[in-house]
């Protein structure tokens, strides 16, 4: 993957992170995680272990708004990192088509 230049300044990034902290304490977020399911893999996860993920990452221009925030397991969040939704889908498709027999 090519390196990218963040479309937002460090100051804007910090503001969006602060907004996310506030949203994490909201009843809206608590209700979202109470379902206990990762948005990406569908894995049942204890609510306290779910993380907040920005569908469009902050560093790629996303905002800390309800429509851009989803609960996800730590594993998916660590793998997704700064990927945009279509890049994440491509990554998942590449896993489905991976055949270890082709390497041998």
Q: What is the mean pLDDT of residues 96-101?
A: 59
pLDDT grade, residue 8 (50/70/90)? confident
Is the model's pLDDT at 80 over the cut of 80?
yes
Fold designation for 10-96: DNA Binding (I), subunit A (1.10.30)
3-38 in b/e form (b: 16+ CB < 10 A) is: eeeeebeeeeeeebeeebeebeeeeebeebbeeebb
The confidence score (pLDDT) of residue 102 equals 47
Domain boundaries, the chain: 10-96
Q: Considering the chain, what is the average pLDDT of its residues?
A: 88
pLDDT digits (tens, 9 = 90+) for 25-57: 999 999 999 999 999 999 999 999 999 999 999
Q: Are 32 and 53 in contact (CB under 8 A)?
A: no
């Amino acid at each position: 993957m090519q390196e990218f230049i963040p479309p937002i300044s460090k100051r804007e990034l910090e503001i969006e992170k602060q907004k996310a902290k506030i949203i994490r304490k909201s009843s809206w977020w608590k209700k979202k995680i109470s379902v206990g399911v990762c948005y990406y893999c569908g894995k049942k996860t204890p609510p306290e272990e779910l993380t907040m993920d920005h569908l469009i990452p902050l560093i790629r221009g996303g905002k800390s708004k309800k429509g851009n925030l989803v609960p996800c397991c730590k594993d998916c969040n660590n793998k997704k990192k700064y990927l945009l939704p279509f890049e994440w889908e491509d990554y998942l498709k590449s896993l489905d088509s991976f055949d270890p027999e082709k390497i041998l």
